Structure 1
Amino acid sequence: MTHLKPSSRQAGLTLIELLVAMLMVSILFVAVYRIFNLGLTTSMETSTRADLDTETQKVQQLMVNRIKEADRFVAPTAVTFQDTQSAGQTAYLPASTLSAQQIVVVRLPSKNSPDLCDLYAYYVVPSEALANAALPIQRRLAQATPGAVSLIEGRNATPFQCTSSSYPAISQLRLLHPSLRSNTGFVVNAYSIAGVQKGVVFSLQGHRQAGSRTITAHSYQVKVLARNL
């Protein structure tokens, strides 16, 4: 019996067919990679935005609770700021160029005595300044978003007499929100009734780098009336 020898077509793929198959596999691989990478990026951005929203709302509520108890709104020029926790450093101090819409100072009756008061201030500083290696590690930002600002809460060291004609220095400074949008991240305006300031309207907007992209969260605005005025 004569056995026929298999042709080259029967023996396997031709070189051209092999190259076409490899090309198709490569295209499929690239498509799958792009879909996976897009999904990962979207997930990261969604998570970052959700974290920013949550953090911003918590900070806003803290400020609302504080400002509600105010019995006086104080002009920022009437108080001095010092950073006793990081001697020689200015990263946590408000800049002289800070606009009136980027700082608010209030006086609150002390919880310890009705005759004593405390000062609280809220203002922004450049986030990149807080990443300065000269700062103590516990007060240093591990990663600052370029162009962002950070919200600082300041207060006096010890309660003072409410009847005093002068104010103590605001020297206890702490980071309240690490990353807000530069221009709209913290905006505060006086709310007046019959020409008398009774509260403030302020907004917060988170802004943070996530991978190679920068995420801007929702802007949260609230009106707060001081109940002790």
Structure 2
Amino acid sequence: MGEREAVAAARTALTVRRRPPASAGAAVLVLHGGREHGREPARSWHPAALRMRPVLRAALAATDRRDVLLGEVRFRYRGWNATADPVADTVRALDELRALAGELPVILVGHSMGGRAALRAAADPSVRAVVALAPWCPPGEPVDHLRGTRVVVLHGDRDRVTDPGESARYVRRARRAQARAGLVLVRGGDHAMLRRGGDWHRATASVVAQLLRFGPTLTGLAGEACASEDPLRW
């Protein structure tokens, strides 16, 4: 391991952006995107990380609960790489969260590569729900571990980087594995969530707020998406 890799490996995987004044009752963690390959360190000023800041602010504004901890998962590398490094980092962040705040129900909100990592990391029993934004869902992604997990996928219908059709197929497979899964299409949305950015943030905030408010029962936007095989358009 080189010096740069050693420094990356030594970093904490969890950055807390908001800690409740009293004990936390739930946590929302965001996971940024990346590349298929890339061993250079991921930095907080990279565009992939910066585009998750308004998502985090939207999640904060969407709930009146004061017991929700908000944080970011810090990936060591910019790439997924053959060893699924972002998944390992997410698992490490969940362990750090447990050490910090005890056992909490967790919602993971991931974009692109981070969406794929969030869906994989849902095997952790603390993860109760995943909100995947324009996720990278290649054929054959595992879904059996999602049984009973709430999964809402948001995908722009003009995405040219990851395929909304693959997201739809992933959701169908997850439903067959008895996940509570649904798909929301952002009309006119692109991969970077810049086109129709306000719609992306409102839709994400709405889903996160409902997951926090209703627990195991999804209603409204997320519930309608999860109850139908057809995608709901935002």
With the shorter chain as reference, the TM-score category is under 0.3
Look at both structures and tell me which one has the larger radius of gyration over its CA atoms.
1
Higher helix share: 2
TM-score (norm 2): 0.21
With a CA cutoff of 8 Å and minimum separation of 6, indicate the structure with the bigger relative contact order.
1
Larger strand proportion of the pair = 1
